[in-house]
Amino acid sequence: MTRVYIPYGTTEGKTAKIAEYIADVIRHHGHEAEPTQIGQVRNGITGGYDGVIVGAAIHMGKHDKHIVEFARKNRDLLERLPSAFFSVSLAVHGDAQEAEGYVRRFEQETGWRPSRIACFAGALAYTQYGFVKRHVIEEDRRGQARQLGHRHLARLRLHEVG
């Protein structure tokens, strides 16, 4: 029986749902799968796995920093084992090249070249966001970057504010 480890980083839960779905498919085929949120991983990949599927969402134009660090630290093992990477972003809805660019940047940042890559569409949970994050999204949608600009807004920890 094959054991597959599925570490992922999620902020709003969509990446977790995708990781759980992948695990269910693997289990349906008679194998073991262990999806784990990266925040719960302390020492990297432990032994005993036959493959790894890493997942990360895009927020503010970047993959989760914990996943990037995880892939860097575990690059040698990820390259030895059968491994894959999935990226979750809103860009998949309308700009596949942008979504693929996020994956290329991830590969450059980590030095890891997964043998399989998938890009999945993320979700915009607009009604669940606080005032500040909704405002940023609205401004972005209108294409009206104000004097404050996205560089300053990106520094805000919006998930803590809203």
Q: Are residues 119 and 53 in the same domain?
A: yes
- Which pLDDT belongs to residue 134? 52
Confidence of residue 131 (pLDDT cuts 50, 70, 90): low
**pTM: predicted TM-score of the whole model, two decimal places:** 0.74
Q: Are residues 45 and 119 in the same domain?
A: yes
Q: Are residues 131 and 64 in the same domain?
A: no
Q: Which is it for strands 32-37 and 62-63: parallel, antiparallel or unpaired?
A: unpaired
| DSSP structure string for 94-126 | H-HHHHHHHHHHHHHHH----SEEEEEE----G
Q: Are residues 140 and 62 in the same domain?
A: no
Report the C-alpha gap between 140 and 51 in whole angstroms: 39
pLDDT in tens, 89-105: 865 556 667 778 788 99
Between 53 and 142, name the one with better pLDDT.
53
Q: Are residues 71 and 12 in the same domain?
A: yes
Contact between residue 49 and residue 5 where contact means Cβ atoms under 8 Å apart? yes
Between 149 and 17, name the one with better pLDDT.
17
Q: Are residues 145 and 114 in the same domain?
A: no
- Which pLDDT belongs to residue 59? 76
Using the predicted structure, report yes or no on whether residue 30 has a pLDDT greater than 60: yes
Q: Are residues 109 and 131 in the same domain?
A: no
Confidence of residue 161 (pLDDT cuts 50, 70, 90): very low
pLDDT in tens, 144-159: 334 334 433 333 333 3
Q: How many domains does the chain have?
A: 2
Q: Are residues 133 and 97 in the same domain?
A: no
- Which pLDDT belongs to residue 126? 46
Q: Are residues 13 and 59 in the same domain?
A: yes
Count CA atoms closer than 13 A to 73's CA, side-chain side.
13
Q: Write out the residue range of the structural domain in which residue 152 sits.
A: 127-162
Share of the chain above pLDDT 90, in %: 41
**Rounded mean pLDDT of 30-53?**
84
pLDDT in tens, 111-125: 999 989 888 876 555
Q: Are residues 117 and 138 in the same domain?
A: no
- Which pLDDT belongs to residue 48? 87
Report the C-alpha gap between 67 and 8 in whole angstroms: 7
What is the CATH classification number for the domain harbouring 93? 3.40.50.360
Q: How many C-beta atoms surround the C-beta of residue 7 within 10 A?
A: 25
Give the mean pLDDT of the chain.
Answer: 76
Q: Are residues 72 and 49 in the same domain?
A: yes
Q: Are residues 115 and 132 in the same domain?
A: no
